[in-house]
Chains A and B, each alone.
Chain A
Amino acid sequence: MIPSISSSRFYRVSYLCYVVLFFIFLITPLLVVAAFSFNDSLFPSLPWNGFTLDWYLGENAPKLGLFHDDALLESIGVSVQVAIVTTLASLALATCNAFLFEREQFPAKNFLYVLMLMPLVVPGVILGVSILVFSSTVANWFEVQFDYDFEALRPGLVLVTLGQFAFITTIATLVISARLRKFDITQEEAAMNLGASRLTAIATVTLPFLKPALFGAGVVAFLMSFENFNTTLMLVGSDAPLTIAMFDRLREGSTPVLNAVSVLLMVGSACLALVSLFTQRPVKQ
């Protein structure tokens, strides 16, 4: 079962085969997507018509490449914007939450904590529609009371950002709280003992300690926002983030340009993943 306990050769080999099969199952769809972005065909399917970079660089329809497809590029821009705002907002709130739950004692703390976890168990579609319903209730109320149309509360990027922020904050809070829990509070006392005020102590000692968690939570938040579909679908207006734009194209019938976008996403995510892996681990000499 574990290496220190001997087991039969048959058991070990079949176990290994299972694990290998699992990883083939895991990787194949991605490899296929990547491979077909180089297929010189109008459809992302067999037969293989030879290698081409047209789906990246092609300038004219029907083989309009990714880097000349303004609609797709624009949607990437929208996604990046939304993701940056969501990430920064959720990191800020998550840090406050972490300090609140780890440092303060107050009545109903457990209740608030459970409430804070709720967004994790609310399906994304429902989170989306509930915010949609509530925001339009508020917007309608403004319209009736003040005869003012509250644009931000109608489906659009503001609502998309709020919707993503609503559940990403929970995840960021969990990551940052876990790190803050490991912090030795006497370090803050030591800082104060050496002459720092409370806020200076937090800024110079506690926050640097939290930095890996802040960075990690930031990367996760960015990716979750960038890739979010369910909540976004319900709240989206005329400006479509990338996932929505790709979904619409997929339903229309796809061209390999979607494969090209996918490859771009894979490369981007892999880079982020690697960067976060290397920064999370302290350099050992």
Chain B
Amino acid sequence: MQEDLACTLLSKHFGEFAAVDEVSFSIPRGAFFSILGPSGCGKTTLLRMLAGFQQPDSGDILIKGSSVLHTPPNKRPVNMVFQHLALFPTMSVAQNIAYGLKRKGVPKREHATLIDDVLAKVQLPGYGDKRIDQLSGGQKQRVAIARCLVLNPAVLLLDEPLGALDLKLREQMKIELKRLQREFKTTFVYITHDQSEALVMSDHVAVMNKGRFEQVGTPQELYYQPKTAFVASFVGDSNQYAGTVKEQSGQLITIVTEHGVRLLSHGGQPMPLGSPVTLFIRPEVMQISTSRPEAEQDNCLQVTILRMLFDGARSQLQVETSEGAVLTVALPQTADYQALEPGRSVYVSWQASQCLCFPVATETQPEAVQ
């Protein structure tokens, strides 16, 4: 498959600080590619280098197979939707869209058709004469995207454009962006710190941390087969449980917690006996039962209900284990669990194959992000 955008060993330092550290990746034509990371991980710097607003210290950027390192930003075949959109307030919607066409030297008589076409595609037909300050937040998003897509860029860069929208509109725009990307068949590079945006829209997601890519994969891979502790904790919600390795047979690892509780887990890499590890258990893999399950479970703990967190279909239960650890368990809204109340003793159980463990990193890991 031909690649629209590829980077090799791209680095950018600000003084001693490595904002982007030897990042390499390639994006197939027409893909929706997200770069997901906490703020300060270097994703904005990376995007600005792709757009040409910052020069990399080393490495190369290839767009459609040729290097653009020596191409100034106004000559690169990439366009960008800015974080705060950067629509020109002194111009109308049509003038905003025509701006790039004029710079490209597209004959004036073709402008009207092109603008009408792109406005129809972003579902804003007839909005050409509106002023920017007459548009709603979602409409501005669409104009910002239309302004770029009318130029048929090789790659469209999006710098957290949904950040400023309220929750409901953001949900709608996620679907809308995905639809637009399918329709225009343009390669999208989308950066965000919101994992839900990245998971819902992308074909591929790169998780970025401290200037490096931790893992690149499909949303499903990142969620179910995280390769590092950072990815496991950053993508999706997880309960974290500390312990040491007692035994390893193949991919099955036996872990003992501080108070002697034995837990079984899946582990993707060999780990020395006695080394500290962190266990990651997703809230939705744990089963709740009021009596000890009859069938043999890999892991089963007796716990006390601390509080119920009602949130409709996303309701959760906070429970405390006998050794004082607090776990969050998904609470299905079915009749079976109607009788639960704080203070009651219940059992939670899960399969070893549904949880993961990683060696404790020397550096601190970020809090799991909702």
Residues of A that sit less than 8 Å from B by CB: 184, 186-187, 189-197, 200-201, 204-205, 208-209, 211, 282, 285
Contacts and interface: CB of A to CB of B under 8 A. Distances in A.
A285 B86 contact: no
Contacts, number: 65
B151 A194 contact: yes
Interface of B: 51, 53, 72-75, 78-80, 82-84, 86-91, 99-100, 103-104, 133-134, 147-148, 151
Contact of A186 (B84, B104, B134): B84
Given A204-B99, A209-B90, A194 B53 contact: no
A4 B153 CA distance: 56
Contact of B74 (A186, A192, A208, A282): A192
Contacts of A187: 86-88
Given A191-B99, A194-B148, A184 B80 contact: no
Contacts of B89: 209
6 contacts: A190-B80, A190-B86, A193-B74, A193-B148, A195-B75, A195-B151
Nearest to A200: B103
A193 B88 contact: no
A193 B90 contact: no
B84 A194 contact: no
Nearest to A210: B90
Contact of B147 (A194, A211, A285): A194
B74 A205 contact: no
Contacts of A205: 88, 90
A227 to B, nearest CB: 32
Given A193-B74, A196-B74, A285 B99 contact: no
Question: Which 10 pairs from chain A and chain B are nearest by CB?
Answer: A195-B103, A194-B100, A190-B86, A208-B90, A186-B86, A192-B74, A187-B86, A192-B73, A193-B80, A186-B82
Nearest to A285: B134
A193 B104 contact: no
A282 B132 CA distance: 12
A285 B131 CA distance: 11
A208 B103 CA distance: 17
B103 to A, nearest CB: 3
A197 B74 CA distance: 6
B99 A189 contact: no
B79 A194 contact: yes
Nearest to B88: A205
